[in-house]
Amino acid sequence: MVAILFSISSCQKVLDKKDLSSLDGDLIFSDSTLAFFNLSFVYDQNLPAWFGNTGGAINGNGTFSDEAQGTHLFFQGQVISTTVGDFGTGLSNSNTWGKIRKINEFIRDIKKGTLPEATKNKMLAEAMFFRAFRYFDLVRLYGGVPLVLEPMDPIGAENKESNMLPRNSTAECIAQIVSDLDFGIQNLPGRYSSNADWGRITRGAAAAFKGRVLLTYASPQFNPSDSQARWQAAYDANLNAKTLLDAAGFGLNTSYSNLWFQEVNNPEAVLITGYNTKNGDVSKKNNTYDLQTRPTYLSSGNGGSNAPTWDFVSDYPMKDGKKPGVSTTYPYDVKLFYKNRDPRFDQTIAYNGATWPILGNANYRLWTYYTSTNNGSTWTSFETNASNTGFYLRKAVSPTITVDLLPNSGTDWIELRYAEVLLNLAESAAGINRTSQGEEAYQGLIALRKRAGIDPGADGMYGLTPGLQRSGLLEAILYERKIELAFEGKRFWDLRRWKKFESVLNGKKRTALRVKLKTGAGMPTPAEFLNTRNNLDLDNVYTSFFEFEIQDKDGANINWKPEYYFFAIPDNAINNNKKLIQNNTWGGAFNPLN
């Protein structure tokens, strides 16, 4: 929910004179404070949670990509027509159509109110942003869906029949999403003057989200014929978003690692879900991200989730921006995999022996090695429930919060960062062949790598290959997104919109790195090593005292199927509405590419 505090005195003229149980809509939507209480409910219902999760079948914590390991039907080739049930049919405020209904009710009622036109249009724009947000969530899953822009009357057989709408084309849905967002660009402020309004949708947020929508629509999932008109529309939208955000004072935060902890007026936070429990007050809105992500033994037995895979860890660039094995300045040694990496590596990945400021201890050393095995299957460690991949995710994990406050902590979720705007602009620029080193494709990557702390190199290219043409530059941008936006709920959607699951993951198994303490003559006992490990040189520890084993974490090879690029409309939705037609990749006649 948007972290905004209201003074009750601002609406005493209403509250003192009316029976609250009988307040009518005209009165509510003619008082700005009461109207905003209703708008706040729309925010609370629709702002995404951590990893961008919107309450549906897709979990953005990395298990649906190469970031983290986790079993799912997506990767087992066992998706059926009921697997992705986000379409929804029940009369519930918690499903997509229930949320769209509430948004449409707000839009209808605010239009009838007597608020000043500018106030009314601003609130309308905020609600329409979330309608666009919800429809985009549906379209990227299924393709075109019925466009419902007015609240439906559910009472009576006649209304039930008229409420059964056919699917609009994907193109019609995208046009409506863009129309809603354009209204926001026209009617929302570039920035709110009061800190109490931090988190409300701005003109730049609407423009940036439009850029994300049109970039998706230009990508191979929706654009197999590579229409340049779509790439041009995406470029125009993302350039406008950057221009508006720049004018309003948004930009890259100076710190990649600390950007998650600036609570108000964070220049990088374009679209944010505010969690206002920073002091353990259980009456406020919190989340479980920090509690679940840090090691189990540092979170009262609740952590260890979101563990990065060895595949993902090993793909980080070196400090000169070149991939491991390509860099000549920093030769890569798998035994010292952590050395001389892109600084974002240490700010995202916690590995065995790493110094990880946490629980207020700036010099804490993380250990997640094993001391013995039992027939190669049961692993023993000193730390309780050590990471099952050999790594922990440290991005956005607070370095200062104490264990007693963890259950009610709440780091803000940034759904759309200024960094993504630069990447969206870079990709759409490359899509229309703006590939010179002075244009947006290269410049966006350079800005992010410079902020990260990568070596500029003699050519000032921060490890980027000069002179890349369209295809090579698009690949470089997708790689940069993988690193910059790691574990931010973007990797699954990037692989899907670029139709890369088959080439990146199919036929493979995600892996873990097991680090084991050596035993035998000349080696310290586990107890002896435990007593000295924090004072030892890490490079010497890795080369002298540890041995490694790469372990399969998937069992069977990953088997993503082509029909998953547009999921099936769930059976219960089709049974509920005879006018819905199934996608053509699932036995129906509806073409989601139209």
The residue to which tokens 């950057």 are assigned: 242
Which residues are CB-contacts of 562 (< 8 A; sequence separation ≥ 6)? Answer: 502, 585
> CA-to-CA distance for 211 and 418, rounded, in angstroms?
12
Which pLDDT score, from 0 to 100, does residue 283 have? 55
Burial of 205 (0-12, 13-18, 19+ CB in 10 A): buried
Q: How far is CA 317 from CA 28, 332, 363, 454, 466, in A?
A: 55, 10, 25, 9, 17
Which residues are CB-contacts of 162 (< 8 A; sequence separation ≥ 6)? Answer: none
Q: Output the six-digit token pair for 508.
A: 């493979």
**Strand, coil or helix: what is 283?**
coil
Which pLDDT score, from 0 to 100, does residue 561 have? 97
Question: What angle (nearest 5°) sits at the alpha carbon of residue 592, between those of residues 589 and 594?
Answer: 100
Which pLDDT score, from 0 to 100, does residue 374 have? 60
The distance of Cα 108 from the centroid of its chain, to the nearest Å, equals: 31
Which pLDDT score, from 0 to 100, does residue 491 have? 97
> CA-to-CA distance for 436 and 458, rounded, in angstroms?
18
Reading phi first (left if > 0) and then psi (alpha if -120 to 50, else beta), residue 385 is in: left
Of the candidates 166, 192, 274, 190, the residue with the CA atom closest to the CA atom of residue 240: 190
Q: Where is 270: in which H helix or E strand?
A: strand 269-273
Domains along the chain with CATH numbers: 188-274+412-487 (1.25.40.900), 289-408+515-552 (no CATH)
Residue ranges of alpha helices (H) inside 453-507 are 470-484, 491-497, 501-504
Q: Output the six-digit token pair for 268.
A: 């990088």
Q: Residue 31 is which amino acid?
A: D
Question: What angle (nearest 5°) sits at the alpha carbon of residue 191, between those of residues 189 and 194?
Answer: 110
Q: Residue 284 is which amino acid?
A: K
The residue to which tokens 């989340």 are assigned: 287
The residue to which tokens 């080739």 are assigned: 77
Q: What is the dihedral of CA 465, 470, 472, 476, to 10 degrees?
A: 70
> CA-to-CA distance for 450 and 322, rounded, in angstroms?
14
> CA-to-CA distance for 244 and 398, rounded, in angstroms?
31
**Strand, coil or helix: what is 429?**
helix
Q: Where is 515: in which H helix or E strand?
A: strand 511-517
Q: Residue 406 is which amino acid?
A: L
Q: How far is CA 542 from CA 352, 364, 409, in A?
A: 9, 18, 35
Tell how strand 378-380 and strand 391-393 pair up: unpaired
Q: Output the six-digit token pair for 7.
A: 């003074």
> CA-to-CA distance for 42 and 515, rounded, in angstroms?
48
Inter-residue contact 392 to 484 (CB < 8 Å): no
Q: Output the six-digit token pair for 356.
A: 């990880």
Which pLDDT score, from 0 to 100, does residue 275 have? 87
**Strand, coil or helix: what is 378?**
strand
> CA-to-CA distance for 485 and 448, rounded, in angstroms?
11
Q: Residue 135 is which amino acid?
A: Y
**pTM to 2 decimal places:** 0.93
Measured over all CA atoms, what is the biggest interatomic distance in the chain, rounded to whole angstroms? 86
Of the candidates 355, 349, 380, the residue with the CA atom closest to the CA atom of residue 367: 355
Q: At what angle do helices 32-46 and 96-112 cross, to 10 degrees?
A: 160
Reading phi first (left if > 0) and then psi (alpha if -120 to 50, else beta), residue 405 is in: alpha
End-to-end CA distance of the chain: 36
> CA-to-CA distance for 430 and 442, rounded, in angstroms?
9
**Strand, coil or helix: what is 484?**
helix
Residue 92 CB neighbour total at 10 angstroms: 12
For the four alpha carbons of 382, 385, 387 and 390, in that order, the dihedral sign comes to positive
**Helix %, strand %, coil % of the chain (to 5):** 45, 10, 50
> CA-to-CA distance for 370 and 434, rounded, in angstroms?
50
Of the candidates 358, 314, 364, 308, the residue with the CA atom closest to the CA atom of residue 339: 314
In 378-504 the beta strands, taken as DSSP E runs, fall at 378-380, 391-393, 413-417
Which residues are CB-contacts of 18 (< 8 A; sequence separation ≥ 6)? Answer: 27
What is the full per-residue pLDDT of the chain (594 aa) written as tens digits?
443 333 333 333 333 333 433 445 667 888 888 999 999 999 999 999 999 999 888 988 999 999 998 889 999 999 999 999 999 876 677 789 999 999 999 999 999 999 999 999 999 999 999 999 999 999 999 999 999 999 887 766 676 777 789 999 999 999 999 999 999 999 999 999 999 899 999 999 999 999 999 999 999 999 999 999 999 999 999 999 999 999 999 999 999 999 999 888 999 999 999 986 555 455 567 888 999 999 988 887 788 899 999 999 999 999 999 999 999 999 999 999 999 999 999 999 999 999 999 999 999 999 999 887 665 556 677 777 788 899 999 999 999 998 888 888 889 999 999 999 999 999 999 999 999 999 999 999 999 999 999 999 999 999 999 999 999 999 999 999 999 999 999 999 999 999 999 999 999 999 999 999 998 898 999 889 999 999 999 999 999 999 999 999 999 999 999 999 999 999 999 998 999 999 999 999 999 999
Inter-residue contact 427 to 441 (CB < 8 Å): yes
For the four alpha carbons of 357, 361, 364 and 366, in that order, the dihedral sign comes to negative
Residue 128 CB neighbour total at 10 angstroms: 28
Burial of 570 (0-12, 13-18, 19+ CB in 10 A): buried
Inter-residue contact 399 to 357 (CB < 8 Å): yes
The distance of Cα 102 from the centroid of its chain, to the nearest Å, equals: 24
